[in-house]
Each structure stands twice: as structure tokens, then as C-alpha cells.
Amino acid sequence: MAEPVTIYGIPRSRAFRNLWAAEEVRLDYVLEPTDFATGVKSSAFQALNPNAKIPALKDGDLVLWESLAINLYIARKYGEGLWPEKVEDEGRVFMWTLWTATELEPIQMQWAYNSFIRPPDQRDPALAAAGAEGMKKPYGVLEATLAKAGRYLLGKDFTVADLNVASVAYSAWFNKYDLSPFPKVKAWLDLCLERPAARRARNMREAA
């Protein structure tokens, strides 16, 4: 009998994205608690991820890092329905995943660090405001895309493209970033983040 997949991290980290993907496909997995402070510094963990960052995944002899790449792997190997059938849609999955990492997450993290992640005395209100303003561009791109695509990013079906983007946008959604100028994004995020698998992953994260 195959050993379960191991996810290294904690729910209140980027590992949340992988927990959601694992729950979505009903993956047989275990979460190996690994925190930012001491867990990533252990020699055992750094043998898995020399970058000393969470999350990481171990599936048999395979070790992966980078949360969004891990989700692509989970969806491709285990996610019947999460991975698109057409190669053109595979290209769009890659596009949205890389877009999330390059266009959405960096500016969103500027807002988040200076709004609620850092202790109050370490926050820069000007950077928070600039981050909030900068987030309007990627969320505007999403709004325009959803206006054409329909229910989900690739059309009528939920795929790993939606999961990867929504798992990053969760931070804005949960922490009350003003999405009123982007009603289609708000409705789409509600739809994605209220899925049963998303709720299970959120319960782990929000209880932590």
C-alpha cells in the first residue's frame, strides 16, 4: 500500500493552498507541522527544501517546493476534473498560475504586510495604501476575464487555475480588501472559497 503524501507547513502559510488542493482531490495526505521560525531551520527539512521555506511536498521519492507548482502537480496527478483535458486549457492554467505569482501576489503582500501581518509598529501606512491601490490592476484583469469567461476562469468548470488564483486572493477576501469595484471577482471568490474542500482547508487555517 502506498504511503500517504506528506505536506510540510502550517495552515496559516502558503501551505493552505496545498491543503485546499489535497482536500479538493481527496488526497491521502498527512500534514507535517513545520513552522517559519524553527521548523524550516532543521537539517531534516532543509534536506527537502534548501530554500528553507514552507511548504514542501513529498510523494514517494519525489520532493517539490513552491506552493503553486505543488498544486499543479496534485491536480495533474490526482485531480480528475481539476486538470483540463485540452492542451490549450493547460496553457491557460500555466498562464494564470504564473500571473498569480508575478502580478497578484507581490502587490497583495505589500498591502497585507503593512495592513495586518506585521506588528502595528512595523507597518508603513503609505506602503499599505500603495499596495491597495496597486491591487486594483490585477483585480481589474480578473474582473474583465470573468465577464467574458463566465462562471470560472476557463469557463463553466472549476479547475486548478481557479484554485491557484483564489487560494492567493483568499488573503484579500478574508481580510476585507474592498472588492466592491470588482463584483464578478467577489462573486467568483465566494463561489470558490465556499466549496466544501475550500471550507475544510479554511477551517484548518482559520482555527490556527
Pick the CATH number of 87-197 from 1.20.1050.10, 3.40.220.10, 1.10.760.10, 3.20.20.140: 1.20.1050.10
| Res. 67 pLDDT band, cuts 50 70 90 | very high
For the entire predicted model, the pTM comes to 0.96
pLDDT score recorded for residue 1? 63
**pLDDT band, residue 63 (cuts 50/70/90):** very high
Mean pLDDT score across all residues of the chain: 97
Instruction: Tell me the per-residue pLDDT of 97-126, one tens digit each, with 9 for 90 and over.
Output: 999 999 999 999 999 999 999 999 999 999
Stretch 133-162: mean pLDDT, rounded? Answer: 96
Is the preceding omega at residue 183 within 30 degrees of 0, hence cis?
A: no
**Percent of the chain with pLDDT strictly greater than 90:** 96
Strand partners for 63: 58
CATH fold of 5-81 reads Glutaredoxin (3.40.30)
Q: What is the pLDDT of residues 80-95, one digit of tens each?
A: 889 999 999 999 999 9
pLDDT at res. 2: 74
Is there a contact between 30 and 3 (Cβ–Cβ < 8 Å)? no
Q: Is the pLDDT of residue 206 over 90?
A: yes
- Contact call for residues 34 and 8 (beta carbons, < 8 A): yes
Give the start-to-end residue ranges of the domains of the chain: 5-81, 87-197
pLDDT tens by residue, 29-54: 999 999 998 999 999 999 999 999 99
For 54-98, give the DSSP string.
S-EEEETTEEEESHHHHHHHHHHHH-TTTS-SSHHHHHHHHHHHH
Measured CA angle at 80 (ends 159, 104), to 5 deg: 25
* CA distances from residue 61 to 3, 4, 19, 122 in whole angstroms, order as listed: 11, 12, 20, 42
Q: Are 10 and 18 in contact (CB under 8 A)?
A: no
Which whole number is the average pLDDT over 125-154? 97
Residue 172 and residue 131 in contact, taking contact as beta carbons nearer than 8 Å? no
Residue 4 has pLDDT above 90, yes or no: yes
The two domains 5-81 and 87-197 share their CATH topology (first three levels equal):
no
